[in-house]
Amino acid sequence: MNLLHWIFTHQRHCFKLAFFKSLTKIMNRYLLLFFLFLANSTYAANHCVILQYHHFSDKTPALTSVTPKQFDDHLEYLQQNDFHVIALRDVALSLKHQLELPDKCVSLTVDDAYISVYREAYPRLKKLGWPLTVFVNTEAVDKGIKAAMSWSQMREMSKNGVSFENHGFAHMHMIRKNPQQTDKQWLTKVGQDIQIAQHRITKEIGIEPSLFAFPYGEYNPVLVDLIAGMGLTGFGQQSGPAWPDANPGALPRFPMAANYANMKGFITKVKTLPLPVTLAEPLDPLVKLGQWRPTLNLQLAPGSYSKSNLRCYVGGSDNVDISWSDTRKDSVSITPKFDLKPGRHRTNCTMPSNQKGRFHWYSHNWFIRKKDGSWYDEY
């Protein structure tokens, strides 16, 4: 056998091997989705609660941290109460194709790839055999920032149930268009930031991301369309379960940090059901200048609702006006009775379900600039 023939035969063999390995991975993923679809309807649902973490430490800022003890308590509760911890990619595929997910579905995610993920979260989840999704802002990793994981650590984790997805390159405020920029310049800059991270993760981990988490949870309809055009499913930081009718460009996640991670609240959140909102207006969470009391209009799917039990909060306050429409069935408007300060806010609405101890939940973002049009300070 001459050298050229050997090289040709060897390359063909490697190609076949790589092809069948890739095919096996695809078949395994869709087999999982198939079995989820076949789940007994008594134990099936059309939603999943996605949890969002940052730090796992008692030495990092409380605003973005859970302590290792809190995380242990979270995991213990999920384990002892028969929750199904499912990889986020599989959740996204199930929602996209309207496949049933098991009831008590939870997916674990982390933003920013901090070192405590490797030191604290990863060993615990590896021991349990549970999947984790980490959204990586790649500039911090490439610069070797002490607080961030290394690519080597992430490659190790990727072999043990951890997926790495796109969180942008520079962790930029993507909705903050510079007054000197044209719309095209702004979108080009944002698109380049996302593509750099896409390239770096693919090169270092060997798997191309299919999911994207907006830094700071800030987005607008234009950015949602941008990532959809890139073939990415998007995630925000507003709370509530993800379900097929939720915006696939900014799916909700429950932030887990500080008081938002206490066990009473945690138990309530992992048991939530979606409030069946079919239309939420305005679509753009960026509030127009001079509007300090934004109104959220929700259209619910046809159903029998306990309207008097709808509870809504804006910025944590229940000082809001809730008005059900007389002309549009199952339509409601929610307006704060006080001025919101510049910054990020949410309108959170809950309603008791017919299942004891479980609530329907929906959340909507508001991004409010200062009176002069400048942006709020980071916090």
Last-in-domain residue among 234, 254, 272: 272
CB distance 261 to 57 below 8 Å: no
Position of tokens 């490659």? Answer: 155
206: its two tokens: 């060997």
Query: What is the DSSP annotation of 106-125?
Result: EEEEEES-BHHIIIIIHHHH
Given 272, 293, 323, the domain boundary residue is 272
Region 47-76 average pLDDT: 97
Residues 253 and 343 in one domain: no
pLDDT at 16 over 70: no
In a domain, 378, yes or no: no
Would 264 be classed as within a structural domain? yes
Question: Which has the closest alpha carbon to 243: 48, 106, 34, 83?
Answer: 48
Q: What is the pLDDT of residue 336?
A: 98
Say yes or no: 314 and 259 in one domain.
Answer: no
Model pLDDT for residues 310-353, shown as the tens digit of each residue: 999 999 999 999 999 999 999 999 999 999 999 999 999 999 99
For residue 17, being part of any structural domain is answered with no
> pTM higher than 0.75 for the full model?
yes
Residue 25 has pLDDT above 90, yes or no: no
Q: List pLDDT tens digits, range 160-200.
A: 999 999 999 999 999 999 989 999 999 999 999 999 999 99
Q: Do residues 142 and 200 make contact, with C-beta atoms less than 8 angstroms apart?
A: yes
> Do 213 and 316 share a domain, yes or no?
no
Domain count, the chain: 2
Q: Cα(94)–Cα(91) distance, rounded to whole angstroms?
A: 5
Please report, for the domain that includes residue 305, its CATH number: 2.60.40
What pLDDT does 379 receive? 60
Q: Are residues 92 and 204 in the same domain?
A: yes
Q: Which residue has the tokens 């499913």?
A: 233
Q: CA 312, CA 363: separation in Å to the nearest integer? A: 9
Alpha-helical runs (H) found in the chain: 3-37, 68-80, 88-96, 115-116, 122-128, 138-142, 151-158, 183-205, 221-229, 263-270
Contacts of 243 (CB under 8 A, 6+ apart): 46, 47, 48, 95, 274, 276
Return the axis-axis angle of helices 183-205 and 221-229, rounded to nearest 10°: 40
Domain range holding 343?
Answer: 280-368
Residue range 66-88, pLDDT digits in tens: 999 999 999 999 999 999 999 99
Q: What is the mean pLDDT of residues 136-145?
A: 97
Of 210, 239, 272, the one marking the end of a domain is: 272
With respect to residue 256, please indicate whether it lies within any of the assigned structural domains.
yes
Same domain, 255 and 314: no
Instruction: Specify if 21 maps to a domain.
Output: no
Residues 218/222/225/226 CA torsion (nearest 10 deg):
-80
The CATH code of the domain that includes 86 is 3.20.20.370
User: What is the distance between the alpha carbons of residues 238 and 346, in angstroms, rounded to a whole number?
Assistant: 7
- Contact yes or no for 235/251 (Cβ under 8 A): yes
Structural domain includes residue 349: yes
